Structure 1
Amino acid sequence: MEPVDMEMLDPLELIGQRERQLDNRPEITPYCYSHRHSSDEMDDGTNTFSQLLSTSSIRCGDICAMENTVAFNNGIAHSRGGDISEAIRCFEAAFTGAAQSYDVRCAVSDGERSAGPSPHAILHNIGHCHSKLGRHKEALSYYYKALDLLNKNTIYPYHFDESPSQLDISSTLNCIAIAQYHDPENADSTTMALLLEKALALRIEIPGEECSQETATMLYNLGRVKVLQRNFDCARRLFEDSIKIRRSLLGADHIDVFTIYFNLGKTAECQGRIPQAIEFYKHFLSFAISRKGREDKDVARTLILIGRLSYESNNNEDAHLYLSHGLVAAKLAFGANSIVVANTLNKIGNVFYCQNKFPSALEAYQAGLAMERQIHLPLDDNIAVTLLNVARVQQHQSEYSSALESYAEAYQIKNRLHDQESVAAILTNTGWIYDEQGDFAQAARVFGEAIQIRKQLEGGQNMALLSALLNALGLVQYKQGHIHPALDNLFEALEACKSDSESEETHIVCICYNIATTYKAIGDIDQALKYHKETLRLELKIHSQDRNNTVSADSANYTQIALLYREIGILHGEREEYDEANYHLQHASQMCIDNPTLIDRDCAFKTLKSLGDLQMQMDDDDLAMRSYANAVSMFNHGTIANANMTEVESSSAQNDILGWVSDYLDYSSCLLPPAAAAA
């Protein structure tokens, strides 16, 4: 028997689950609605001080108050219209005027004050404008200035004619937390949580505010922070509390309600509750389609997201359905040659791959690759990842020359990017191709390179992966006839596999079997027996049903266990240990007879013929003829029914059977399929 290939634990074997790094786990940022700066954007509480002010209460002749209010209102209008730079200019003018107005009015009695924007409200809006431009540090600076005014001066309410309240402080704390949330360098989740918890505490102290829109917003914002902290249970409860308030205040069809559905979906996804996540996303999708139509970016993204999760749940039909619709929507929303379209094509390729529709998978991958070549620089990692998918499909379809070309290009990119993990994986898969082509020298070379990289990378970790590579190198060296180097690598593979607590026993079984077969090739029967018996012991430990080592007929390793009994019996026979040999060959033969449909006819024939050979050595001709007859019948008919001979029949047919067996052994390698002959 030939050694067997150990199942590789290579990252590229995960092609069916291929996602770009950012897609492997859900985004931790739960607010994903794309219309962040449009008129219908999700309310995160940063617009608290952005209402237009009336000029009706301004005292006649108070030109400063009038100018400040007009400048403030112009700033609000420009901000809403998207002209942020002009909005900032207007707010700065309003702030200068408001500060001067305060200085003049310090000596004026309260009853004589006119209305007008307060400095802290203006500071809030300047901060909000900087936040819209992505200048989160500047935004934080202005929010903190506003908070400082509120904490130190009780004369700065929203309007000069109002008293300051803890609601203003609460709103300011919320704005600071949101600015930190959007600034990666300042995104301290602990600080954000404390700010929001303080903001909520201040607000709900006021009667009636526990069910206000602002309270719902802060609950929602705190939920987002809890997602950052991976406290998903708490996040879910906060989102649910927020959605109850918003639904009662705004109605079930409001954007703020459906945005929380999306974030409930993200939370469920992070918790691994994929069916619930998909349902939440579908709620959001129904709203997005009705509100924006099928050409909207959020519709496209959500369709693709549901498709990806369906695929990861092995629901390939739904995955293909949603990804196909998502592809159409993405082309309309993002353009026919966009990265979103390219990524979606790759995901569709994943689905086809899992459905064993390899030509369709290759077509999808290559379409995505062509698009990525137009979008990205030549050494972009996205191109490399797609090339690897193309190569694996080509390898699966035995298009080895094309696969080697794809791997070579991916290798160049990954090597330039210093991604040694992927380089080792590419070398591993390249090695398997050379092995399939019979170019064992090249296979040994690239396996050796992959092993050296793995040893540098792993540092004692993931020894199962290193073990698989060492086993592969040992197999190639065995095929080259380099037996002693093969044994060295196989033993190193065995030690590496045993040292990894997460290694599966089936991998140890595989290596032990290969060591035994290699020893047999050099005639070391003692060592071959030792490792075949260890292999059998482990197989029975994994697959036997009881203490009697009964192997279930539905076991995937039924044939392998029968072959092990046969090999051990043959080796004992070579050492003239006939009792041990007879025990193991009888056991193997009985397994063939009991379940002939599970074992290849050629394998069953060889097993029963080996038993006959042993019985001939033991001078039991009658039993030998019976075994030979059973072997012939098993090969011809797949059963031994009516094949047992009487003593007279056995004597008269002895020469014919022996002749048939001899002829079969001479010519069977020409007549049998390669897989059967190898057994």
Structure 2
Amino acid sequence: MSIHTSYHSSMVGSIHGHGHGHGHGHGHGHGHAYASQSQYLHVGEEIHADQPHGLIPVHHIKNNKNDQYCFDLQHCHHQYRYHQYTKDGLENINPTATLCTSASNDVGDGIDPIGRIPSLNNTGVELTELMEYTLALEYFRRCLNSLRDNFGYSYSNLIDTAITATTTIMEGVVLELIDNGDKAASVILFNMGILCLKLNIDEDANDCFTRALFLARAAGISGPVSIVSILRNIGCIKYRNWELEKAMDAYKEALQYRRIIADELEIASIINCIGVLYFHSPKSNTSRAMEYFKEATKIRREQLFDPNDKEIATYLNNTGRCYYLNEEYNKALDKYMDALHIRRALLGNDHLDVAATVYNIGQTCHQRGDLEKALKYYQEFMEIAVTKLGRYHRDISTMLKCMAQIYHEQRQFDKALSFYEDALNAGRSALDVHPEVASILNKMGNLYYEQGDFDNALDMYKEGLDVERAVLHNLHPNITVTLTNIGQIAKQMGEYHAALKFYNEALDIQTKSLGDSHPNIAITLSNMALVHYQNKSYSKSLDVYQEALRIRRDAFGDSHLDVASSLNSIGLVLFKLGLHEMSLRSFSECLKTRRSILGKEHRDIAIILYNIATIHMERGEENEAMNCYKETFRIERVALGPDHTDLVLTLQHIGQVHLQRGELDSAVHFFKEVLRIQKINVSDTEPSSIVQTLINTAEIHMENGYMSNMMDCMNEAMRLVLRAGQNYNDTRLTGFLLYDLACLNPKSAAAA
């Protein structure tokens, strides 16, 4: 008699996935090989793994005031506005003024008079817009030199080396406030900050904006540079560098200033940015974020009275992201559809912002299980994005992986593999050695694992592990997941020593990064205990399972499904050790916990009842065993349906108990039910299980004296064997080869 071992631990033995999903999650997924919980946060997608563009997620809005940045959870545009001087004086700054000098002015080493500062500044702005960054920097430097010479500023050179697209050296500025030179300096520093932003030199940009902020605060809200604009640029930089608390401080201060000025549109924009920061807070405060997004939407709609506004589309998209994370997929779809309608009306059908929303809709459909609709939207994204980005872009790679996942879930393995390979090629071309490449390799490993192709699965996992170790820190959880997957493969191949080696590596990382008592430690310990169990090292297995149980009880208390799983596993080991009474207590405690959480008719309840029945059979307690088997069968019919193959094992045991009791007619009844289910589920080319059931039934008929019924069963068994082209030498009844039956019954179709 064997114990039912399926589901006997907390998904132990399953492959872990760290691909994206849907979601977002940062823990590793358990369950099927295509587990969907996300591990990776793609570069350029700090917001979420589903972000469609590999751009910094900041949307810059430009109006007739000052710079306004509006965060969008999916894409980024950088547009910059500079402060330009008129010749009327340093204090008079007109954001829409025409430049006073052309970019052709010579850059000399002499002292520029104070009157030339507006011209120099505006030329620097023009050169920046023409992407002549080194020359633009020289004009801004001349402005500061002139301020020093005319107003008595003392400062070290702001930038002594020419800016290139990749390197720069910026030195600090020490300014002494004299007369109104501070106002001019704040403008120049602001413009230099914008220049650094264009070059993605965030540290230098932050230095310029911080110094401009000091000067602007001294000038007050009537100064030439908006304090709000400076604060929002600082907030943007802090956000880009994931300094979320500092970004929040900057935006909340900006909101205080803006409420004084009462610019409702900019207030809406700042509120949206604060919502994004709440969205990205360590615990993802989606409820608070949603409040801000809804408030921003309300303000903008009241001010504009225009339903087709691109920023409203941004706010709607962000609200959709919150609903998505809260698994309110219908509400998320409503917001995404509204955003898509606006973006299509404003931008047409082939804009990347439209593609971004199309992707979000597809992803939401994917999460809802509407795979065909999700695939349709993913394909629409590809039609737009490939034209704009080319075949070898990181976002194309991400989308190909998403499409592969759908085919994977549909078990169209050949198609899935083809898309994974395309995703891998695009990812390697766009990213080279990168966590996203490792994610694709992991998913390919999962696919091979599901197909039973352990050699190829192992190759994919090991290649992914090499990538992860090259680009991630040594204690990164993705490395743990991949080590675990490799351990699972080794276990499946019976290489128990190798499996334990990889599990121990994973455990070492987890212990160092999570401590000794984290629930994830219990998962790895359970995997190790299972290896000992399968290697028949039952005492070692028991010790490790008990440690996993201790961790889970400390973390979750007694009433938790993971605790119940550990109790079930311990019951299995105790059964193997012959400690039936202790095993029964462990199973009974597991049963009590699962019933309290899952109810009385869950599949996992049936499994525990089956195991309890098995113990009773081993102890010769047939009545108790029969009661448990029948309750198992009842629950399985409810949970799985009357034709599910899992019912076969339970029915066979019920029939066997009746047989042992001498209740032959009852035994035949249950074996006939087994035969009915097998005929529904078993292929004619592999009839061995049906044949065995027919032989068992024939033997009961013979024992009961029903020879005609016995002959009918054996005739059918022989027909199936011969039709499948198999050897009938193993087709025996009570030890005798039924050769004469084979001669008397020629090949024919199996009985219906």
Q: Could you tell me how far 1:287 is from its partner in structure 2?
A: 3.3
What's the secondary structure of 1:284's corresponding residue? helix
Cα distance in 2 for partners of 1:456, 1:342 equals 34
More moved, 269-278 vs 255-264? 269-278
Aligned to 1:381: 477
Q: One-letter code of the match for 2:413?
A: N
Q: Could you tell me how far 1:592 is from its partner in structure 2?
A: 8.5
Cα distance in 2 for partners of 1:228, 1:593 equals 47
2:401 to 304, 307, 310: 304
Q: Could you tell me how far 1:191 is from its partner in structure 2?
A: 5.6
Structure 2 alignment gaps of length 5 or more: 29-35, 42-46, 63-67, 72-76, 93-113, 122-183, 680-686, 721-732, 738-752
What's the secondary structure of 2:577's corresponding residue? helix
% identical aligned pairs: 21
Spell out, residue by residue over 1:614-638, the C-alpha distance to the aligned partner (whole angstroms, 9 max, x if none): x6xxxxxxx3xx55x9769967983
Confirm or deny that 1:76 pairs with 2:194.
Answer: yes
User: Is contact 2:570–2:586 with CA below 8 Å preserved after alignment?
Assistant: yes
Spell out, residue by residue over 1:97-145, the C-alpha distance to the aligned partner (whole angstroms, 9 max, x if none): 8788899x99xxxxxxxxx655555555455455555555555555555
Alignment of 1:21-60 (within 5 A): 22=26, 24-25=36-37, 29=48, 33-36=53-56, 45=70, 50-53=80-83, 55=85, 58=88
Cα distance in 2 for partners of 1:387, 1:288 equals 35
What's the secondary structure of 1:51's corresponding residue? coil
Aligned to 1:5: 5
User: Is contact 2:571–2:582 with CA below 8 Å preserved after alignment?
Assistant: no
Aligned to 1:461: 560
Q: One-letter code of the match for 1:175?
A: I
Spell out, residue by residue over 1:221-272, the C-alpha distance to the aligned partner (whole angstroms, 9 max, x if none): 5555555666554554444334433333333333333333333344445555
Find the structure with the greater CA-based Rg: 1
Aligned to 1:161: none
Q: Could you tell me how far 1:351 is from its partner in structure 2?
A: 1.2
Cα distance in 2 for partners of 1:151, 1:583 equals 86
- Identify, as 1 or 2, the structure richer in helix: 1
Cα distance in 2 for partners of 1:311, 1:564 equals 38
What's the secondary structure of 2:14's corresponding residue? helix
User: Is contact 2:244–2:281 with CA below 8 Å preserved after alignment?
Assistant: no
Q: One-letter code of the match for 2:666?
A: H
Cα distance in 1 for partners of 2:554, 2:295 equals 49
Q: Could you tell me how far 1:501 is from its partner in structure 2?
A: 2.7
1:584 to 648, 666, 672: 666
Confirm or deny that 1:256 pairs with 2:360.
Answer: no
What's the secondary structure of 2:560's corresponding residue? coil
User: Is contact 2:210–2:234 with CA below 8 Å preserved after alignment?
Assistant: yes
Cα distance in 1 for partners of 2:241, 2:335 equals 29
Alignment of 1:564-583 (within 5 A): 564-571=654-661, 573=662, 581-583=663-665
Aligned to 1:535: 629
Aligned to 1:395: 491
Q: One-letter code of the match for 2:560?
A: Q
What's the secondary structure of 1:282's corresponding residue? helix
Cα distance in 1 for partners of 2:270, 2:233 equals 11
Q: Could you tell me how far 1:431 is from its partner in structure 2?
A: 4.4
User: Is contact 2:567–2:590 with CA below 8 Å preserved after alignment?
Assistant: yes
Cα distance in 1 for partners of 2:539, 2:642 equals 41
User: Is contact 2:542–2:573 with CA below 8 Å preserved after alignment?
Assistant: yes
Q: Could you tell me how far 1:363 is from its partner in structure 2?
A: 1.7
Q: One-letter code of the match for 1:35?
A: L
Confirm or deny that 1:341 pairs with 2:437.
Answer: yes
CA distance 1:509–1:604, change in 2 (3 Å): farther
Aligned to 1:644: none
1:326 to 420, 423, 426: 423
Task: Give the TM-score of the pair, scaled to structure 2.
Answer: 0.64
Cα distance in 2 for partners of 1:85, 1:137 equals 17
Cα distance in 2 for partners of 1:202, 1:500 equals 45
Cα distance in 2 for partners of 1:452, 1:89 equals 52
Aligned to 1:366: 462
Cα distance in 1 for partners of 2:312, 2:604 equals 57
Aligned residues: 593
CA distance 1:142–1:631, change in 2 (3 Å): closer
Q: One-letter code of the match for 2:81?
A: Q
User: Is contact 1:630–1:640 with CA below 8 Å preserved after alignment?
Assistant: no
User: Is contact 1:563–1:588 with CA below 8 Å preserved after alignment?
Assistant: no
Confirm or deny that 1:14 pairs with 2:34.
Answer: no
Cα distance in 2 for partners of 1:231, 1:3 equals 40
Cα distance in 1 for partners of 2:565, 2:296 equals 51
Cα distance in 2 for partners of 1:661, 1:61 equals 109
Q: One-letter code of the match for 1:539?
A: F
What's the secondary structure of 1:45's corresponding residue? strand
Spell out, residue by residue over 1:460-500, the C-alpha distance to the aligned partner (whole angstroms, 9 max, x if none): 1116524531441243124xxx4444444454455455444
1:170 to 265, 270, 288: 265
Task: Give the TM-score of the pair, scaled to structure 1.
Answer: 0.70
Alignment of 1:236-635 (within 5 A): 236-269=333-366, 273-336=370-433, 338-376=434-472, 379-416=475-512, 417=514, 418=516, 421-458=519-556, 459-462=558-561, 464-478=564-578, 482-502=579-599, 507=604, 509=606, 511-512=608-609, 514-522=611-619, 524=620, 527-536=621-630, 538-539=632-633, 542-543=636-637, 556-558=646-648, 560-571=650-661, 573=662, 581-585=663-667, 587=669, 605=695, 608-609=698-699, 623=705
CA distance 1:472–1:333, change in 2 (3 Å): same
Q: Could you tell me how far 1:360 is from its partner in structure 2?
A: 1.5
What's the secondary structure of 1:12's corresponding residue? coil
Spell out, residue by residue over 1:48-72, the C-alpha distance to the aligned partner (whole angstroms, 9 max, x if none): 9942455557469976893646665
Aligned to 1:638: 717
What's the secondary structure of 2:391's corresponding residue? coil
Q: Could you tell me how far 1:77 is from its partner in structure 2?
A: 3.4
Q: Could you tell me how far 1:178 is from its partner in structure 2?
A: 0.8
More moved, 632-641 vs 28-37? 632-641
Q: Could you tell me how far 1:346 is from its partner in structure 2?
A: 0.9
Spell out, residue by residue over 1:76-107, the C-alpha distance to the aligned partner (whole angstroms, 9 max, x if none): 3343233445555666777788788899x99x
Q: Could you tell me how far 1:362 is from its partner in structure 2?
A: 1.8
CA distance 1:636–1:358, change in 2 (3 Å): farther
Alignment of 1:80-91 (within 5 A): 80-84=198-202, 87=205
Q: Could you tell me how far 1:349 is from its partner in structure 2?
A: 0.6
Cα distance in 1 for partners of 2:374, 2:632 equals 42
Cα distance in 2 for partners of 1:273, 1:251 equals 26
Q: One-letter code of the match for 1:531?
A: A
